[in-house]
């Protein structure tokens, strides 16, 4: 799929109850490639989820990151790799000490 679905098609595929196994691509430009198209979509107001689209509307700092990643795929990939390493080094609190 190379087009952003319209609201009617999303409603048809996402029933009011159930349907938790229904999947949609968050990036309809290059859904099978890991790249910065997601950020380009956000700048074009084509974010699938409202929680994603607010990255360009609620915070100037977040919007600047989206803009940087949209124009520089290498920067996005580099910073994504660093973030994954940081997340892999986290020790979440589990059991009686915390909740996941």
Domain of residue 63: give its range.
33-89
The answer to whether 52 is a known ligand-binding residue is no
Nearest to 42 by CA among 34, 33, 52: 52
* Number of compact structural domains in the chain: 1
21 located within any domain: no
22 located within any domain: no
What pLDDT is stored for residue 57 in this prediction? 92
Convert the pLDDT of each residue in 69-80 to its tens digit.
999 999 999 999
54 located within any domain: yes
Convert the pLDDT of each residue in 40-55 to its tens digit.
999 999 888 888 899 9
The answer to whether 20 is a known ligand-binding residue is no
83 located within any domain: yes
Q: What share of the chain is helix, strand, coil (3-state, %, to 5)?
A: 50, 0, 50
């Amino acid at each position: 799929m190379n087009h952003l679905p319209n609201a009617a098609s999303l409603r048809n595929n996402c029933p009011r109850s159930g349907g938790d196994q229904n999947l949609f691509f968050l990036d309809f430009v290059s859904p099978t490639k890991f790249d910065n198209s997601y950020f380009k979509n956000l700048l074009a107001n084509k974010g699938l989820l409202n929680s994603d689209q607010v990255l360009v509307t609620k915070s100037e700092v977040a919007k600047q990151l989206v803009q940087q990643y949209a124009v520089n795929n290498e920067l996005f990939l580099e910073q994504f790799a660093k973030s994954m390493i940081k997340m892999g080094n986290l020790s979440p609190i589990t059991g009686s000490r915390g909740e996941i």
